[in-house]
Structure 1
């Protein structure tokens, strides 16, 4: 057996410079990882009832906290030890037997030889194991058959669950990634996203593209290739959040894929949730656009600039223009604003249309009600207030509404050379009527008709610019059912406003999950508001 010296573990058969136990690194890694799962198997896993291919015989590296499997034929723990490291990663502890092992010496170690290193690390791991597997903390919340009855999932039991409801699970903080976790909780409760990404996740998905009538082109059905890495990671994450099983969820695979697309999020620094949402959605749109274009080109036998005639080029362009708008991000989140500017001197009117994935609303301290803020946004900026003197008038209206609309309350703004946060509360409704803010052509609105959206998610920021924390509120509810009938040649959608009150609000702060009353939700310091169209 090994003999040890303090303050750190050294080896009689290895260089004494090698420090094999680092309790702080182990704590940091374990607390931000999925417990009792091989880190590498988790990355490479094929989803089988929500469990990775290897989740047994796990050992922990006492240098860095890496959790690896010891299963025959895989042995990620051995591969981790054999990989190049500046210092030795040779000592592990089994999470099933609690025995310590040294790969370099190929022998078992005494766990009582060094109270400041090996024994303390073992004590931490055993206490963490009890806490992580006892179910004491509410890591997952599901809705029972009775719509208003929410409860924690009992350990070892699988009560009858309404399969149409998405459970709420905590998400591990990878290191200042609460900004990411709060957004992902809201996306995990976006029913249309879960449904559409489920449809397009497989290679060979058939997409039917119907170009406008003026193109004189027939509909084209194309076969899509496999999803790109970020989209595939997004699907696996949403799937793991939806299916039965314990929380919290480790988002490392998805977060790392996003960092490949947007390196600004590397380094585990605190970031902005709204920017995260933009980068995530835009990066997935780029991947899905590439996927659709590849499917169209394959349908035309992959023509090139040299081999394609003019008619083929015209068709590919027309199908591509229509097809790229059919990606699931655009179908769910993207709407259109029409900005109209009129010169008061010559009465010339110019119109500019722009797509949006959310609407950013400035918080003017005299207007701390969401409806008033929207009015302020639509009619344009008060020129005298902003000390901008011009003879032009501006109006901004929504000309195309998405099924899900995200409102961004601009709590952070430039004040001289510094960024300042507006901490004042903004009142917001559970049911939002957007009809007053839509153009005449939007939805072909009849006189007095309402366009109702129901609140289902919030990203909240608490604290200041120097130190803050992002949390989420989500409403667990059944998917909506559309009730419609023909009235005077138009489709009239009948809305049961009472349905918006059904469901349960849940508060999530990383791995902490708890049900909360509606009153707490309405008192939150909202930063992002997620509304879904009421059908």
Structure 2
């Protein structure tokens, strides 16, 4: 193809349509969306040396001419990442990625690849730190990459009964639109910060805050502001709501208190939106790791000598605990106060399971951060910690259940929040999963590619897992 003569160049206010014109203008408009071209080339000379020879090439992404012989067009392609240019003498299109000329039949495939790459980057957007607001930014990144929450907000299903400038759900809807708009510049979440200060006053101010505390506060406010939606109508149970927040994040925790005299069991089920796990090194006595055998293979975690895994923390969380003589309860069978044991198990699992590793210890005598490394898997099976699997555990020791094909309790990791630094001075970052196997590190306004090893080697503060299989009514 050849460049259009100067007399045929469309005026500055002409619309660049993908099926109008010919030559470089047609190719440029095919590779970009059919929007108005604000600039037109006044002359065909190299923008670096001013020459009109040396195999002049034109960039197909912007108005730029450069010498191919002197590699001025190469420098432009490298600095701007504009990987296609057209030879103005012979009309061939050159790809700087494969370093070769391509034919017309390849252009459709190239355009599809460019579109596919742009689609994969959807939702990746940095957030400006407004002054010690990294605790908010990392949680926002995790929430915006929660699949069902993303689908809800992008489908405009929220029906607000509040003033839009005071509704956190409306602001989150706008935030999702910003994240998936295709814009790459960092977003400034000043409205979100203002609403958080308004509805969770304990988080107001520019002091350092806890990311876990912000997550709990944000989910609570979102839950309260979702009451106008059709699917949030209260059921016969006043403690249960069917809003999108509860559907995704709320599970049921079963507590069994067993009398040590008559062995009667008192059972209660309470809602939970996260599970806080004690770590070795805290002032709380930690359940010693089993010396070998079953503990080394649960959930496929690497269990080095002396190391701690997420499964260890969950086994400790669900083990029977003797309450002691100082915490006697009144037994319904004995009709008197007796010693008892208490055991927690999962009655109902949420779609998104959030595990909070208790790294910050606050007591009357001690305030510190626990830096114990805890390994966590990419895929997690919660079957051993279900109430239905209680009979397969004896004295806190896990035994492999007979039913290993139950997929309802299997999860995949999709976000990790980390804390670097000390209790007094620290910084929050997050890893998020994009399209199954791609991971990115979000550090406020900066987003960089990450490897699975980077994710699994991180210290871990909040771990977000999503169910692999969902049931629909």
Q: TM-score band (shorter)? A: 0.5 to 0.7
Deviation at 1:402, TM superposition (A): 1.3
Report whether the alignment pairs 1:248 with 2:186. Answer: yes
Q: Which runs of 5+ in 1 are unaligned?
A: 1-133, 137-156, 205-223, 297-316, 478-501
Report whether the alignment pairs 1:530 with 2:464. Answer: yes
Report whether the alignment pairs 1:186 with 2:124. Answer: no
Instruction: Check conservation: 1:202, 1:226, Cα contact below 8 A.
Output: no
Report whether the alignment pairs 1:515 with 2:449. Answer: yes
Measured in 1, the distance between the counterparts of 2:158 and 2:310 equals 40
Deviation at 1:198, TM superposition (A): 3.1
Measured in 2, the distance between the counterparts of 1:354 and 1:135 equals 55
Deviation digits for residues 275-317 of structure 1 (CA, Å, limit 9, x no counterpart): 1001001011111125559x97xxxxxxxxxxxxxxxxxxxx7
Matching of residues 351-370 of structure 1 within 5 Å? 351-365=267-281, 368-370=308-310
Deviation at 1:476, TM superposition (A): 0.6
1:278 corresponds in structure 2 to: 216
Measured in 2, the distance between the counterparts of 1:437 and 1:159 equals 44
Measured in 2, the distance between the counterparts of 1:420 and 1:380 equals 28
Report whether the alignment pairs 1:377 with 2:317. Answer: yes
Deviation digits for residues 376-425 of structure 1 (CA, Å, limit 9, x no counterpart): 000144769x9989831111111111111101001112344332211111
Deviation at 1:168, TM superposition (A): 1.5
Measured in 1, the distance between the counterparts of 2:376 and 2:279 equals 12
- 3-state DSSP of counterpart to 2:388: coil
2:75 corresponds in structure 1 to: none
Measured in 2, the distance between the counterparts of 1:393 and 1:158 equals 61
- 3-state DSSP of counterpart to 1:175: coil
Measured in 1, the distance between the counterparts of 2:181 and 2:221 equals 25
Deviation at 1:247, TM superposition (A): 2.2
2:424 corresponds in structure 1 to: 466
Deviation at 1:364, TM superposition (A): 2.5
- The number of residues matched between the two structures is 314
Matching of residues 302-381 of structure 1 within 5 Å? 325-365=241-281, 368-381=308-321
Please tell me whether Structure 1 or Structure 2 has the larger radius of gyration of its CA atoms. 2
Instruction: Check conservation: 1:166, 1:476, Cα contact below 8 A.
Output: no
2:167 corresponds in structure 1 to: 229
- 3-state DSSP of counterpart to 1:169: coil
Instruction: Check conservation: 2:122, 2:182, Cα contact below 8 A.
Output: no
Q: Which runs of 5+ in 2 are unaligned?
A: 1-78, 82-112, 282-287, 290-307, 329-337, 391-400
Match among 399, 404, 408 for residue 448 of structure 1: 404
2:125 corresponds in structure 1 to: 169
1:311 corresponds in structure 2 to: none
Deviation at 1:352, TM superposition (A): 1.3
Instruction: Check conservation: 1:341, 1:351, Cα contact below 8 A.
Output: yes
Match among 399, 412, 436 for residue 360 of structure 2: 412
Match among 361, 379, 382 for residue 431 of structure 1: 379
Deviation digits for residues 216-236 of structure 1 (CA, Å, limit 9, x no counterpart): xxxxxxxx7887611100111
Measured in 1, the distance between the counterparts of 2:417 and 2:208 equals 15
1:504 corresponds in structure 2 to: 438
Measured in 2, the distance between the counterparts of 1:507 and 1:318 equals 40
Instruction: Check conservation: 1:201, 1:226, Cα contact below 8 A.
Output: no
Measured in 2, the distance between the counterparts of 1:263 and 1:351 equals 36
Deviation digits for residues 24-71 of structure 1 (CA, Å, limit 9, x no counterpart): xxxxxxxxxxxxxxxxxxxxxxxxxxxxxxxxxxxxxxxxxxxxxxxx
Provide the TM-score with structure 1 as the length reference: 0.54
Deviation digits for residues 476-531 of structure 1 (CA, Å, limit 9, x no counterpart): 11xxxxxxxxxxxxxxxxxxxxxxxx421111111121111111111111000000
The two structures, once aligned, show a CA RMSD in angstroms of 3.2
Measured in 2, the distance between the counterparts of 1:338 and 1:411 equals 25
1:289 corresponds in structure 2 to: 227
Measured in 2, the distance between the counterparts of 1:414 and 1:476 equals 35
Provide the TM-score with structure 2 as the length reference: 0.60
